[in-house]
Structure 1
Amino acid sequence: MARSRGGRRFRFRFRFHRRNLCAAAAYAAVLLIALSSFFTLISLSKKDGFEDRRERVSSEEEHPSEPIPDRELWDAPFSFGLHTCVKPTAKYKAMLGARESDRYITVRSNGGLNQMRTGIADMVAVAHIVNATLVIPELDRRSFWKDTSTFSDIFDETHFIEALKGDIRVARELPKELESIPRARKHFSSWASMGYYEEMRRLWNEFQVIHVAKSDSRLANNDLPLDIQRLRCRAMYNALRFSPPIEILAKKLIERLRSREGRYIALHLRYEKDMLSFTGCTYGLTEAESKELTIMRENTSHWKVKKINSTEQRLGGNCPLTPKEVGIFLQALGYPPSTLIYIAAGEIYGGNARLSTLSSRFPNLVFKETLATKEELEGFTNHASQSAAIDYIISVESDVFVSSYSGNMARAVEGHRRFLGHRRTITPDRKGLVEVFDRLDDRLESGDLREDSLLSELVRQMHHNRQGAPRKRKGALPGLKGKARSRTEESFYENPYPECICGPKSHSKTM
């Protein structure tokens, strides 16, 4: 009996273990299959970073992509309750009563419109630091554009003087008795600190007038007193109002744009002869055009770089996007062909033939020349800075601003739009986009992309954080010193946050 019971227990245990072994074997087989599939997917994805995503994106013919919501294309990014704050502190106000004004600074502003604007705003701050009267600046007539406009042709001179009364004294001209006396002619250091200008006050021991030969980039972007930074904002965004004729025409053109579609993109299409020559970018141009730009660069003294590798410039993201590339870019972001686009630019190099590569995708293109009458534009003919001022106003007021190159105007418009509430401002990642565009080119080995949902996904992800949302100003690249370090800092006028843009807690104190 005992042996019989033991035999039954043995058979039971054997059957029990056999069932467990079978289950374990089945589980192991499933696990091996799963692991094999996983490593196969990993192996395939390593072959090409785009391929596995391409398999997940069905063709648009079979599964058309969902239209992108309007708010993602047109609305301003969430601003977290940030607002402008430019009023001076109590300490600043207390210092103003004892200031003198019998010392004068005269200025020759250099460059194009926005280079001059930022330079004049800097000179307002410098005049305050060294305790001097600022004489209305003389504008650059020797730049590439050879514009003969005076200060009052471009800016509202009376408003400029009145708006700065609480900060500095502004004189329309130097007093007659001081015109012939010796003056200190200074080339102030680039990106200079507060301490540098405090040291410059020693010049008043020998001179009553200081003449500044260049105005651009005379002040550091960072590490200046809060009141000086806010003074720069008051000068740039309040005092430097454009002249009434410019303001009136710009507002008329904005009304005409709004009456067409209600909203519009302002595109600063910097595909102009001077920019292509300056940067040495010849991608997509004919041999004759490339030669013409090279000669122009070599004949312009302050552009004179003998050899520029155009291919390296483009791959490094240092070239303006072509009209065709801009069209692909905007389409990939999700803007429909019917989008109204205002071209804020001068004459496009290559004319209508090259512009057609953009208009074929977005036929609703307009220029100020097509919005305004000849009579309305007559007073601005041959005055590049006045014409640029109209483009500037229309760009600042647009629903979306896009720049094909990060030049002086693009940076100034971006900063102004941030100041006014972080309006949607798209800054193309040119270096990243070149890689994408080359993958679209069937003539290249890497030409393995199509204009489909995958392209849109790639471009939109690439620009998710390049839409003008609030962020603090970027500092210098690591490892650099001196002027090289300052040169890589983000411009104060490109992003005046945090000094001139405050959070909700400080609302009642700083507005």
Structure 2
Amino acid sequence: MRRGPGSEASLRRRRGPARLWVAVAALVAGTIWLCSSSSVGLFGASYRVQDVDVNKLWRTADSNGWRASSAPRTYWSPPPTESESSGYLRVRCNGGLNQQRSAICNAVVAARIMNATLVLPELDTNSFWHDESGFVGIYDVPHFIKTLKYDVRIVMSIPETTANGKTKKLKAHQIRPPRDAPVSWYATVALEKMKKYGAVYLTPFSHRLAEDIDDPELQRLRCRVNYHALRFKPHIMKTSSEIVTKLRSEGHFMSIHLRFELDMLAFAGCIDIFRPQEQKILLKYRKEHFAEKILIPRERRLIGKCPLTPEEVGLILRAMGFDNTTRIYLASGELFGGKRFMKPFKAMFPRLENHSTVGPGKLEENTQGLAGSAVDYMVCLLSDIFIPTYDGPSNFANNLMGHRLYYGFRTTITPNRKALAPIFIDRAQGRTAGFEQRIRQVMFNTHFGGPHKRIHPESFYTNSWPECFCQTNTRNHADQCPPDNINDVLESQFQSEEEMEEARATNQTDSSGQAEETMI
């Protein structure tokens, strides 16, 4: 039986034991799957800050027996054929690379909810990156379609239709979906429009499906899209591989996402550390791009809404015990405020690289716009330690933290900006007693990328535990790891359904033939 469009409840019938087998060749295969050791917390349940060995951070965080698994745990019906489909779903994904990445995941889930055929998602590259590479220029399209062939039917474009001897392209009905729309909106409002017009075009499509979905199988589908189907094109993977190989040739390296850029600083309202002329630029940008709102920089800093400065990042690393031989890869756009903000950081940690300074001679040709962000993403994913300096909904840092969690609980050091703010304010005012001890007290009070409960406002894309994880040894049936090789299992299910349909058709033909013979 293939599923009909139905409501949320109809999405929960189906599914049988299965599991994704994934080759751990991240740069070549792009799929991710690792196991780790079993204990609680990187440093154990309790520790004294002065006893922490920072060298342990170069290892992956402890898994407590969990590992990644986005395979369905219950019966998962194959996608509809062309004749069974409810219609065609087009979406336009706006924002930066990782906001678009989340939107692509949501588009696949939306198509599944509506029993629809998904048209390859459009990326609104012009408004943000000013390039026209689009989905086909960034992602491996054949791999994307093949990986999701048991989940949704995907086409490159809406096909032409023929009526009264005339051929024309089916026009999609445009809809602006509500922000964080529930599953029920897609199963009713959007589906009704799709059935009426044959195709719908959802735009814009950033944050247009609720993150909290009361169906773990749909959440696991999000993970299959994000961590398995979305693989960058070969030239991006090759460039990333060359950078990682060169960085790792001299030992461990960490990556840092410095979100100290014009747009984020203007959005956050953190302008008090800049010169008057720079403040004017920030205020002008904010007025042109964001809703009017009175923001007081000191208050913003105290509630953790200001990105860390490069110098603050350096002070944190030094307080934690990293020395000036530490090799660091910087992922960032153009830093606002010029070299004076980077100077103190470079003095503390001189071994700094980015995708323009390390790699092959013609590297820069392959690292513009979305492609450059994609290279940064892969290098940060594969680094031994990743440090975000600012996190927000569906952005670079959040998606990477979630990907690294899925990729074997790779160490992520997440500064608590709210807890750190009064420490840095005291330092700026000359109160430096116990500065490094206070920093360590904050920084070592974290999970470092290990499994942990997702608490609002933490995003599902930042932490997909426990839905997209399983335990190798557990008495809880819901957490048990499903059987190996989801592709073989689902293909077997798919072929079984086809054989059953053929058998039913044969039986009907035989019955008709027997009736005719009886009549004769």
Normalised by the shorter chain, which TM-score bucket? 0.7 to 0.9
The CA distance in 2 between the partners of 1:360 and 1:244, in whole Å, is: 37
What do residues 370-416 of structure 1 show as CA deviations (whole Å, max 9, x unaligned)? 103451221333xx211111000011111110011113111000000
- Is residue 501 from structure 1 mapped to residue 469 from structure 2 by the alignment? yes
Decide which structure has greater helix share: 1
Partner of 2:247 in structure 1? 257
Matches within 5 A, 1:2-401: 69-93=53-77, 100-101=84-85, 103-177=87-161, 180-199=169-188, 200-260=190-250, 262-300=251-289, 303-305=290-292, 307-381=294-368, 384-401=369-386
8 Å CA contact 2:80, 2:115 repeated in 1: no
The CA distance in 1 between the partners of 2:81 and 2:471, in whole Å, is: 30
Partner of 2:518 in structure 1? none
Change (3 A) 1:223 1:157: closer
8 Å CA contact 1:104, 1:210 repeated in 2: yes
8 Å CA contact 2:324, 2:348 repeated in 1: yes
Write the letter of the residue equivalent to 2:466: P
The CA distance in 2 between the partners of 1:363 and 1:95, in whole Å, is: 53
What do residues 298-318 of structure 1 show as CA deviations (whole Å, max 9, x unaligned)? 223xx2425432222222210
The CA distance in 2 between the partners of 1:179 and 1:98, in whole Å, is: 18
The CA distance in 1 between the partners of 2:365 and 2:231, in whole Å, is: 21
8 Å CA contact 1:191, 1:219 repeated in 2: yes
What do residues 117-144 of structure 1 show as CA deviations (whole Å, max 9, x unaligned)? 0000010010011011111111113434
Write the letter of the residue equivalent to 1:340: R
Change (3 A) 1:379 1:395: closer
What do residues 47-90 of structure 1 show as CA deviations (whole Å, max 9, x unaligned)? xxxxxxxxxx9xxxxxxx97952443322222101011111234
8 Å CA contact 2:147, 2:228 repeated in 1: yes
What do residues 395-446 of structure 1 show as CA deviations (whole Å, max 9, x unaligned)? 11111100111131110000001111211111111111110112212xx2xx
Q: Which of 462, 473, 485 lines up with 2:442 in the alignment?
A: 462
Write the letter of the residue equivalent to 2:378: I
The CA distance in 2 between the partners of 1:138 and 1:191, in whole Å, is: 19
- Is residue 448 from structure 1 mapped to residue 431 from structure 2 by the alignment? yes
The CA distance in 1 between the partners of 2:466 and 2:50, in whole Å, is: 38
8 Å CA contact 1:96, 1:167 repeated in 2: no
Write the letter of the residue equivalent to 2:223: C
Report the more deviating stretch, 397-406 or 500-509.
500-509
The sequence identity of aligned pairs, in percent, is: 35
- Is residue 412 from structure 1 mapped to residue 399 from structure 2 by the alignment? yes
The CA distance in 1 between the partners of 2:425 and 2:293, in whole Å, is: 28
Change (3 A) 1:98 1:169: closer
8 Å CA contact 2:120, 2:154 repeated in 1: yes
Give structure 1 regions of 4+ aligned residues with deviation exceeding 6 angstroms.
Answer: 94-99
Report the more deviating stretch, 305-314 or 495-504.
305-314
- Alpha-carbon shift at residue 277 of structure 1 (Å): 1.9
- Alpha-carbon shift at residue 98 of structure 1 (Å): 11
Partner of 2:453 in structure 1? 472
Q: TM-score, normalised by structure 1?
A: 0.78
8 Å CA contact 2:69, 2:470 repeated in 1: yes
Partner of 1:491 in structure 2? 459
Change (3 A) 1:93 1:437: same
What do residues 308-337 of structure 1 show as CA deviations (whole Å, max 9, x unaligned)? 322222222101100111111111111111
8 Å CA contact 1:321, 1:430 repeated in 2: yes
Change (3 A) 1:179 1:279: farther
The CA distance in 2 between the partners of 1:462 and 1:66, in whole Å, is: 13
8 Å CA contact 2:366, 2:372 repeated in 1: no
Matches within 5 A, 1:399-438: 399-407=384-392, 408-438=395-425
Partner of 2:504 in structure 1? none
User: Which runs of 5 or more structure 2 residues have no equivalent in the other structure?
Assistant: 1-47, 162-166, 485-520
Write the letter of the residue equivalent to 2:110: V
Change (3 A) 1:152 1:123: same
8 Å CA contact 1:67, 1:334 repeated in 2: no
What do residues 15-51 of structure 1 show as CA deviations (whole Å, max 9, x unaligned)? xxxxxxxxxxxxxxxxxxxxxxxxxxxxxxxxxxxxx
**Higher radius of gyration, 1 or 2:** 1
Write the letter of the residue equivalent to 2:135: F
- Alpha-carbon shift at residue 172 of structure 1 (Å): 1.0
Write the letter of the residue equivalent to 1:242: F
- Secondary structure (helix, strand or coil) at the match of 1:267 reads strand
Write the letter of the residue equivalent to 1:509: P
The CA distance in 1 between the partners of 2:453 and 2:483, in whole Å, is: 18
The CA distance in 2 between the partners of 1:118 and 1:99, in whole Å, is: 29
8 Å CA contact 1:134, 1:170 repeated in 2: yes
- Secondary structure (helix, strand or coil) at the match of 1:299 reads helix
The CA distance in 1 between the partners of 2:424 and 2:263, in whole Å, is: 24
- Secondary structure (helix, strand or coil) at the match of 1:216 reads coil
The CA distance in 2 between the partners of 1:460 and 1:72, in whole Å, is: 15
8 Å CA contact 1:277, 1:296 repeated in 2: yes
Aligned residues: 423
Change (3 A) 1:201 1:362: same
Change (3 A) 1:179 1:422: farther
Q: TM-score, normalised by structure 2?
A: 0.77
- Secondary structure (helix, strand or coil) at the match of 2:387 reads strand
